[in-house]
Amino acid sequence: MSQSVTLLATLSLADSYSWPEFNEAATRLGAVAVTMQGSGVGMVEQLDHLAATGVERVYLVPVNLAEPLPTSWLGRVARWWVAHRPEAQLEVWYQTKAVLGLPTELPSQQGARRLQAKDSLTSPDWEQVPPVRRHVLVCRGPRCSAKGAAALSAKLGAELYRRDLLDTGVLVTQTGCMYPCNQAPVVVIQPDMEWLGPVGEDDVAALADRIEAACQEGVPASSRGVSQATD
């Protein structure tokens, strides 16, 4: 393993749906792809792996595939990693200038700064529940994954994003096995307790219509807030 590695990181769930293409583009450039959420290899796991294999320095670069988005929380998570791995010899250098679109060349390291330890995984901006009215669970258990759940999840996420519903009207979460595997791939719409399966890629438009209609009703989750587990 090289002593220095460029880590290209996507941040949004929507971008993670393009993980195969993103990973391929990064590999072609001799870099390593990570995602901060959704499909793909997570940044913290990859930093742990690189530290364990003797890499000395990482250049961390934010990538926005679809549209420019704030990227500062990428540095926050990386500083949190530095704070929680005091034994690691790996230096993390952060390039704040984000790459827009699939990277076609290795980003410049000019202007990168070394991240210092900081326990920075909380922020006033991350206090509230989003105003979503529905929570859609897409099963990524072994049977559902074998029958196309990854492609289904990617297409559904992209369609909801296109409709400006993702994270505003509906939260989409991938889960492990939810048990009715014979109906794979399985999707659940909450809080309606609506279980659907098998759901194929061809069903995405109809499913998105159904979710969009459901999002016209109900109480936004933000009105309830987060309770203590012991409340």
Q: Does 220 bind ligand FES (CB under 6 A)?
A: no
Give the contact letters, 163-182, x = binds to ligand FES (CB under 6 A), - = no.
Answer: --------------xxxxx-
- Considering the complex, state which of residue 77 and residue 178 has its C-beta at the smaller distance from ligand FES: 178
Helix locations, the chain, DSSP H: 13-16, 19-28, 43-52, 72-84, 142-146, 149-162, 204-214
Tokens of 83: 């704070």
Q: Does 143 bind ligand FES (CB under 6 A)?
A: yes
Q: Does 196 bind ligand FES (CB under 6 A)?
A: no
Minimum gap (Å) between residue 197 Cβ and ligand FES: 8
User: Closest CB to ligand FES belongs to which residue?
Assistant: 141
Minimum gap (Å) between residue 175 Cβ and ligand FES: 8
Query: Count residues contacting ligand FES (CB under 6 A)?
Result: 12
Q: Does 186 bind ligand FES (CB under 6 A)?
A: yes
| DSSP secondary structure of 98-131 | PEESS--SPPP-TT-EEPPP------GGG-SPP-
Q: Taking the alpha carbons of 136, 140, 144, 147 in that order, is the dihedral positive or negative?
A: positive
- Cα 83 to Cα 19, 77, 86, 190: the distances in Å are 28, 10, 6, 37
- Cα 228 to Cα 20, 190, 205, 223: the distances in Å are 38, 21, 37, 16
Q: Does 184 bind ligand FES (CB under 6 A)?
A: yes
- Considering the complex, state which of residue 132 and residue 144 has its C-beta at the smaller distance from ligand FES: 144
Q: Does 29 bind ligand FES (CB under 6 A)?
A: no
Question: CB of 173 within 8 A of CB of 135?
Answer: yes
Q: Does 137 bind ligand FES (CB under 6 A)?
A: no
Residues that bind ligand FES (CB under 6 A): 139, 141-144, 177-181, 184, 186
